[in-house]
Amino acid sequence: MLSPVIRTALAVVILCGSAFPQSSLERAVTLAREKRYSESNAILQGVPEPAEIRQRIAYHRLKAAIASGMGNPAAAVSEISLALSLAPSDASLLVATAMAEFQADRLDDALRHATRAGNDPIAKAVIGDVQEKRGNFAEAANAYREAVRLAPGQQQYRVALALDLIQHQDFRAAVELLQESKKLFPQSVKLRTLLGIAQYSSGYTEEAVPSLINAIAVDPSAEPAYRCLAQILLQSSSAPPPAAMQPLCKWNQTVCSALKLRVARQTDDSAMQNQAIAALERASEDPVARCELARAFAWTDRLAEARREMEACVQFDPSPQNHYRLGLIYQRLGMNELSRKEMDLRNQMLEKMSEETALGLNALKSLR
């Protein structure tokens, strides 16, 4: 999978320097930059390759960008390689070639060209992506760190490094990086959301929740931050802080009803509890509602219904927490063999990672 850096930069890097005096080619470049690749490609049909070297390079870069945009990575590699053959020491062409080769899964070639590009942050990010895809975490993290060092004022490299650190459960390093990065980029929702994920995965829920609330405050349309915050708060039986309740209730009514269940349970408000359960029942097509109904029924001693909903919930989300909850329901129903099975499944999962880590890595998917 391409990292956020490479996904964002690929067409831009390939197109860089694509300038022509001819009006038709100028129009083709403009369309490609607007991601109107089919229209750009149509203009190029029948246009001969220019004679002048600089324009030939630009011509093949343009064709490579169009091929990449149209989902043809092999053609993109072919075109950008033609451009590179005309200026084999050009650093920007080496980077563009490496990026195209990575997209085409030609990892050896991508690594070779990215290495030849020298101290270019995008080249280092490509190296990181190659090493990550090969399973070489240490080498990948070092390459992303080099990209951050070379371009400390560009947040995309910090995001790439943080994603990699969290994915490989180096949470302390991720938190340190993101705390520093948050100061440099105070308006970055992605950095704040990643910080919340890293903090929660480290077991610091009390720090994670404010980080995610702050991410939403920076950008109230930040969907991943809402999803991560909801996942964290729904793991707890406690009432959420008011600062989290308000934005989440505006964002998603099913989540809101689930959080109201916790408030009602804490305040012994039976009317609110009944209203929340009724709302979840109306939303029963939502997998989140099934999981939350299971907990509501367990809390209100409706165990047969709790079993039905939690069995459905585990099918949707077989997390350690949900196996544990289903095991408790079986235990209360006297189904001891089924209970032991669920607890064993939970323990097997926890041998690999903590419950917080499992949830944090699941939340990470929303940022990919």
Handedness of CA 127, 129, 133, 139 (dihedral sign): positive
pTM of the model: 0.82
Looking at per-residue pLDDT, the higher value among 359 and 14 belongs to 359
Q: Is the pLDDT of residue 19 over 70?
A: no
Encoded tokens for 368: 């990919």
For residues 149, 155, 158, 163, the Cα torsion angle rounded to the nearest 10 degrees is -160
- What pLDDT sits at residue 1? 44
Q: What is the mean pLDDT of residues 96-108?
A: 96
Distance from C-alpha of 352 to C-alpha of 362, rounded to nearest angstrom: 14
211, 241 Cβ separation under 8 angstroms: no
360, 176 Cβ separation under 8 angstroms: no
Q: What is the mean pLDDT of residues 118-145?
A: 96
Q: Is the pLDDT of residue 116 over 90?
A: yes
Q: Is the pLDDT of residue 106 over 90?
A: yes
The rounded mean pLDDT for the chain is 90
How much of the chain exceeds pLDDT 70, in percent?
89
For residues 142, 171, 358, 293, the Cα torsion angle rounded to the nearest 10 degrees is -140
28 pLDDT tier (thresholds 50, 70, 90): confident
Supply the angle between the helices 53-69 and 23-33 in degrees, to the nearest 10. Answer: 40
Angle (CA) 4-212-171 rounded to 5° is 65
- What pLDDT sits at residue 49? 87
Which CATH superfamily is 1-148 part of? Tetratricopeptide repeat domain (1.25.40.10)
Measure CA of the first residue to CA of the last residue in the chain; give whole Å.
9
Residue count (the chain)? 368
Handedness of CA 240, 244, 250, 255 (dihedral sign): negative
Distance from C-alpha of 306 to C-alpha of 288, rounded to nearest angstrom: 14
The three state secondary structure string of the chain is: CCCHHHHHHHHHHHHCCCCCCCHHHHHHHHHHHCCCHHHHHHHHCCCCCCCCHHHHHHHHHHHHHHHHHCCCHHHHHHHHHHHHHHCCCCHHHHHHHHHHHHHCCCHHHHHHHHHHCCCCHHHHHHHHHHHHHCCCHHHHHHHHHHHHHHCCCCHHHHHHHHHHHHHCCCHHHHHHHHHHHHHHCCCCHHHHHHHHHHHHHCCCHHHHHHHHHHHHHHCCCCHHHHHHHHHHHHCCCCCCCHHHHHHHHHHCHHHHHHHHHHHHHHHCCHHHHHHHHHHHHHCCCCHHHHHHHHHHHHHCCCHHHHHHHHHHHHHHCCCHHHHHHHHHHHHHCCCHHHHHHHHHHHHHHHCCCCHHHHHHHHHHHHHC
Q: 313-331: buried (b, 16+ CB within 10 Å) or exposed (e) per residue?
A: bbeebebbbbbbbbbbbbe
Q: Output the CA–CA distances (angstroms, integers) from residue 12 to 29, 90, 103, 111, 264, in the order listed.
A: 11, 16, 14, 20, 53
pLDDT per position as a tens digit, 193-228: 999 999 998 889 899 999 999 999 999 999 999 999
77 pLDDT tier (thresholds 50, 70, 90): very high
For residue 276, give the nearest of 297, 307, 250 by alpha carbon.
Answer: 297
Distance from C-alpha of 175 to C-alpha of 115, rounded to nearest angstrom: 29
